[in-house]
Amino acid sequence: MFVDTICTYQSPYREDFTIKGYRFGKGDKAACILGPIRGNEIQQLYICSQLIKKLKELEANNCINSGKEIMVIPCVNHFSINTSSRFWAVDNTDINRMFPGTEYGDTTSRIARDVMDAIHEYTYGIQFASFYMSGEFVPHIRMMETGYQNTSLANLFGLPYVMVRKPKPIDTKTLNFNWQNEETAAFSVYTNRNDTIDPISARQAVSSVLRFLTRMGIVKYESHSGYISHIMKEEDLSNVYTKEAGIFHNYAKAGQEIRYGDLMAEITDPYEGNVLEKILAPTDGIVFFMQTEPLVNESDIVYRMIHRLHE
């Protein structure tokens, strides 16, 4: 294992900001794996630490194939993690909305440029990402419809679902979009947590990446075959909205099968405790995403559902 310095920025108030990359094997730039870009992605940081630990073991046992190099960047934004800020701690900008970046821009834009310079030549790119809403997902692979996406490769991770979404204008500044534009086969991996650690889904994520690397001939690793992924488009999901604001009592869980009319949640009055709304399932299906905040506003999305796949 070699530890590279991707970039370093001096800080007037604390230690220098340094992004490190951990390289395994030698040869063609086969795969690059990125951890948190945002400061609340603790689960993603933990997953990367477990991947580095496993890759060290595989390298020691000569299980990284000859002529293949793997890079793991466990964290792009540890300043924000240290200050419990989701975005860049100095000016609250989102590094994942700064790609491909520029060497003459703001600090976050220069960080994005430095990272992009270090990773753009890899054949496969894997990012552990988070959603813009706080909540839990069914573990899945997410990719943008850029013309370079490859759902057949995404199936090789062996996770339950592969989600394809059409990019919006704001998405053109994300890592995933720009990685694909550099002709890297880029995948975003989502587990069921962000700001807390779930060891079970973390192990599933680590296994999915090692399964993919094995199937692409990059490492030798014995693993279960995983799932045959179901490919979906994001626009096919059903959103469940609130009609009232208040305290959110969640009864449905991510991955749970739901029947039409089942009680999914209740919203209660924060002062008097009476039930303001009972949220009932609008369709048969599976809970793909659930909101986890204790307070909700009117017209919030609290669930996203996959329509029933089989009769």
Spatial separation of the C-alpha atoms in residues 298 and 293, rounded to whole Å: 14
What is residue 311's predicted lDDT score, i.e. its pLDDT? Answer: 44
Distances (CA, A) of 267 to 10, 137, 274, 284, 291: 48, 21, 9, 22, 13
> Average model confidence (pLDDT) for the chain?
93
What is residue 258's predicted lDDT score, i.e. its pLDDT? Answer: 93
What is residue 29's predicted lDDT score, i.e. its pLDDT? Answer: 97
What is residue 308's predicted lDDT score, i.e. its pLDDT? Answer: 67
Residue 224 pLDDT greater than 90, yes or no: no
Nearest to 94 by CA among 83, 80, 84, 113: 80
- pLDDT tens readout for residues 19-33: 999 999 999 999 999
Please give the average per-residue pLDDT across 173-186, as a whole number: 94
- pLDDT tens readout for residues 251-297: 999 999 999 999 999 999 999 999 999 999 999 999 999 999 999 99
At what angle are helices 199-215 and 42-60 packed, to 10 degrees? 50
pLDDT band per the 50, 70, 90 thresholds, residue 239: very high
Which residue is listed with tokens 């992924």? 229
- In 88-198, which ranges are continuous DSSP H helix? 107-119, 151-154, 175-181
Distances (CA, A) of 105 to 75, 86, 90, 159, 269: 21, 21, 15, 38, 47
Spatial separation of the C-alpha atoms in residues 30 and 270, rounded to whole Å: 53
Spatial separation of the C-alpha atoms in residues 108 and 236, rounded to whole Å: 34
- Per the CB < 8 A criterion, the answer to whether 212 and 221 are in contact is no
In order of start, what are the domains of the chain with their CATH numbers?
Answer: 2-233 (3.40.630.10), 237-307 (2.40.50.100)
Positive or negative, the Cα torsion across 61, 62, 68, 69? positive
